[in-house]
């Protein structure tokens, strides 16, 4: 049973490239609070974090990159080929991750928490879970994902796959198995069915707030709605239309996006008037899609949408908010400064996790805006 009173803990695991994060995101869409324990393990050894010096002392300064951060590729080459070295690393990192998980679970307002961890079954976290979910995929699917999404060559990908426990052993420990070989629709149906069996009365509370803004024509009441996968086709049509066909999306494209992010819709009587796509990963909120219909006041629309993103991100205990916008939207400088944002570059961010998130999402010819949401940070130096 869960060690945290009043919380139901789902432990989510699976081998590399089986789509664990996609399943976690889907559970978040259904109302769970998600924790990526693997991302926390990376944060635990970042420069300035409590595990940094202990790892450097244990494995030597040669594992450091030019910027002083631990080069995870160099470290990986040691520990993936030496069980004793791996055990030594885990003895440093795992207690810190458990400490961070405990903090996040206790602070979470949601009653259901999903903890994603590739080594869940081998760690004490398993004893704190009310149920174990395992994501699986065929070796062919895993190999294709590692080559496409992580840029691995076939030899490296196969080595990483072979270094992990057999999927069949994880399946034996599972209360729920999600077969993640096919479409996002197929995965979504499995996750939704399993969720409804566990929580038949639980439904995500629909977010709907209203305001009135003055458009170029007449004052119009707008409402803000948190979208779900069932609105994928509507979202695809809106983005295709507003982008002038520069982004021609299908329903399947948006369903795939739901495996990574959430969407907030600004609704008017005529349909969608605005949209933002955002995600929270590793305690960093990233808004990387912003679309508005012509004639909608930028100040009112952004104040409405971005404020809601921030509120939801704070509920997810985010430390910082990054917003990526077009140069045209960036011209509304007074709007963004009024919301507390400043123009920054990814390399200017001093916290490693923030900088990595910014570098991952930054696209050429966009403007990045930054705002710190909280002063206290998880896994800061002790």
pLDDT value for 379: 73
For residue 343, pLDDT over 90 is answered with yes
Q: What is the mean pLDDT of the chain?
A: 91
For the beta carbon of residue 230, count every other beta carbon within 10 angstroms. Answer: 8
Among 198, 226, 259, the domain-final residue is: 198
Tokens matching residue 5:
């009173």
CB 20 within 8 A of CB 14: yes
pLDDT at 2: 64
- Which pLDDT score, from 0 to 100, does residue 205 have? 58
R_g over Cα of the chain: 21
Q: How far apart are the C-alpha atoms of 59 and 63, rounded to whole Å?
A: 7
In the chain, % helix, strand, coil (3-state, to 5) comes to 45, 20, 35
Convert the pLDDT of each residue in 19-40 to its tens digit. 999 999 999 999 999 999 999 9
- Among the three residues 167, 198, 229, which one is the final residue of a domain in this structure? 198
d(CA 381, CA 105): 20
pLDDT of residue 382: 38
Arithmetic mean of pLDDT, 14-23 = 95
pLDDT over threshold 60, residue 1: no
Residue 189 sits in the same domain as residue 216? no
> What's the domain count of the chain?
2
Mark whether 221 and 262 lie in a shared domain: yes
In a domain, 213, yes or no: yes
Say if residue 157 is in the same domain as residue 227: no
- pLDDT tens for residues 185-231? 999 999 999 999 999 877 665 566 666 655 554 556 888 889 988 89
- What are the pLDDT digits (tens) for 267-326? 988 789 999 999 999 999 999 999 999 888 888 889 889 999 999 999 899 999 999 999
Residue with tokens 């160099």: 74
pTM: 0.90
Domain boundary among 149, 179, 198: 198
Same domain, 133 and 214: no
Residues 226, 172 share a domain? no
Q: For residues 272 and 84, what is the distance between their CA atoms, to the nearest angstrom?
A: 56
- Angstrom CA distances, 55 to 49, 58, 379, stand at 11, 5, 15
How confident is the model over 121-149, as a mean pLDDT? Answer: 94
More confident residue, 60 or 163: 60
| CATH number of the structural domain spanning residue 59 | 3.40.50.300
pLDDT at 113 over 60: yes
């Amino acid at each position: 049973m869960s060690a945290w009173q009043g919380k139901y803990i789902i432990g989510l695991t699976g081998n590399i490239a089986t789509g664990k994060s996609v399943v976690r995101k889907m559970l978040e869409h259904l109302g769970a609070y998600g924790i990526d324990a693997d991302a926390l393990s990376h944060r635990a050894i970042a420069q300035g974090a409590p595990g940094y010096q202990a790892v450097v002392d244990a494995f030597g300064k040669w594992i450091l990159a030019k910027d002083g951060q631990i080069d995870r590729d160099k470290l990986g080459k040691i520990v993936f080929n030496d069980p004793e070295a791996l055990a030594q690393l885990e003895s440093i990192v795992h207690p810190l991750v458990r400490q961070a998980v405990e903090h996040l679970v206790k602070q979470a307002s949601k009653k259901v928490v999903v903890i994603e961890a590739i080594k869940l079954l081998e760690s004490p976290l398993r004893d704190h879970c009310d149920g174990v979910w395992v994501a699986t995929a065929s070796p062919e699917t895993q190999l294709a994902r590692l080559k496409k999404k992580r840029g691995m060559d076939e030899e490296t990908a196969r080595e990483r796959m072979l270094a992990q426990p057999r999927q069949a052993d994880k399946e034996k420990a599972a209360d729920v198995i999600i077969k993640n070989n096919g479409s996002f629709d197929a995965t979504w149906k499995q996750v939704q069915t399993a969720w409804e069996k566990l929580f038949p009365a639980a439904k995500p509370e629909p977010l709907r707030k209203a305001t009135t803004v003055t458009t170029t024509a007449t004052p119009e009441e707008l409402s803000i709605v948190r979208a779900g996968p069932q609105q994928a086709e509507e979202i695809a049509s809106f983005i295709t239309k507003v982008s002038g066909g520069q982004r021609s999306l299908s329903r399947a494209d948006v369903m795939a996006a739901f495996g990574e992010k959430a969407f907030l819709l600004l609704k008017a009587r005529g349909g969608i008037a605005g949209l933002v796509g955002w995600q929270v990963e590793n305690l960093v909120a990233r808004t990387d899609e912003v679309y508005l219909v012509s004639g909608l006041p930028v100040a009112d629309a952004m104040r409405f949408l971005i404020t809601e993103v921030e509120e939801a991100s704070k509920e997810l205990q985010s430390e910082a908010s990054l917003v990526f916008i077009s140069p045209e939207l960036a011209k509304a400088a007074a709007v963004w400064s009024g919301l507390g944002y400043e123009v920054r570059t990814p390399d200017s961010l001093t916290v490693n996790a923030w900088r990595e998130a910014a570098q991952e999402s930054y696209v050429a010819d966009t403007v990045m805006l930054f705002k710190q949401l909280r002063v206290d940070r998880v896994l800061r130096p002790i």
